[in-house]
């Protein structure tokens, strides 16, 4: 097995690579990282601490419907959080797509999907602002059109309720909210990140924050290796 990983200003990825038992090609260039992945010269790639914009732009050239979902562990409980790209999940149709992609990913790794949809307030907050009303309306519509295919529940703004009830996908109102939730849980709080799986692509790519520590990068590398082994078993 051979993986590729990127290194930018944060060199913690180098320390993580020293602790894995498979080959990792380290690159300082977003272009080189994507060339290695898309030309199938490596089995998977991890972003490491390279910039996101160039990498995501390159992937979207081939996969315009790709999305990312972060795997996070809080107090021993693992779940996926999406959307986490600040430009992802900004339409109802895109959120339906994310739910479908994450549900299929969970099934592939042997987990029954349970989706918790978030919005911008509690039910009684309706009428406080047009923005809150629009968020509530969209979450209700999203729940309605996906509930026949997946176990979904609108938890309003109560992310703590969604996790307490066992949701394994937390769907944020948009990518900006998702990114802020990720940073609050992982980069400020005590949550552990395993990286973000990139969905809707043929290759295995794990996105990571430029601010991640050695342990976070190590978990991302191990996740990539796990998905490679899983793919090889299925094929």
What confidence score (pLDDT) does residue 235 get?
A: 65
Q: What is the pLDDT of residues 45-97, one digit of tens each?
A: 999 999 988 899 999 999 999 999 999 999 999 999 999 988 899 999 999 99
211 contacts: CB under 8 Å, gap ≥ 6: 10, 187
Q: Enumerate the β-bridge partners of residue 98.
A: none
Q: What is the pLDDT of residues 144-183, one digit of tens each?
A: 999 999 999 999 999 999 999 999 999 999 999 999 999 9
Whole-model pTM? 0.93
| Residues 212-224: b if buried by 16+ CB within 10 A, e if exposed | bbbebbbbbbbbb
Domains in the chain with CATH codes? 1-63+201-235 (3.40.50.2300), 69-194 (3.40.718.10)
* pLDDT interval class at 186 (50, 70, 90): very high
User: Dihedral through CA 193, CA 198, CA 203, CA 204, nearest 10?
Assistant: 10
Pairing of strands 77-82, 23-27: unpaired
Give the phi and the psi of residue 232 in degrees, each rounded to 5. -65, -35
Q: How far apart are CA 48 and CA 23, in angstroms?
A: 15
Q: How far apart are CA 28 and CA 97, in angstroms?
A: 32
* pLDDT interval class at 233 (50, 70, 90): confident
Its sign, for the CA torsion 103, 105, 108, 113, is negative
């Amino acid at each position: 097995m051979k993986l590729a990983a990127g290194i930018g200003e944060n060199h913690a990825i180098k320390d993580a690579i020293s602790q894995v038992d498979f080959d990792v090609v380290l690159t300082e260039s977003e272009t080189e990282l994507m060339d290695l992945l898309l030309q199938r010269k490596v089995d998977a790639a991890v972003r490491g601490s390279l910039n996101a914009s160039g990498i995501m732009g390159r992937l979207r050239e081939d996969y315009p419907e790709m999305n990312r979902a972060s795997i996070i562990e809080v107090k021993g409980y693992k779940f996926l959080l999406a959307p986490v790209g600040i430009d992802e999940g900004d339409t109802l149709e895109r959120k339906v797509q994310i739910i479908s992609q994450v549900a299929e990913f969970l099934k592939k790794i042997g987990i029954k999907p349970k989706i918790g949809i978030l919005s911008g307030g509690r039910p009684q907050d309706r009428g406080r602002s047009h923005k809150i009303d629009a968020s509530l309306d969209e979450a209700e519509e999203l729940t309605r059109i996906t509930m026949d295919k997946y176990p979904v529940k609108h938890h309003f703004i109560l992310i703590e309720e969604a996790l307490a009830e066992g949701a394994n996908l937390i769907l944020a109102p948009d990518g900006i909210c998702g990114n802020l939730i990720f940073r609050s849980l992982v980069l400020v709080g005590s949550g552990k990140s395993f990286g973000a799986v990139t969905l809707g692509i043929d290759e295995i790519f794990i996105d990571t924050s430029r601010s991640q520590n050695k342990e976070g990068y190590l978990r991302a590398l191990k996740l990539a290796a796990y998905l490679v082994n899983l793919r090889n078993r299925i094929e």
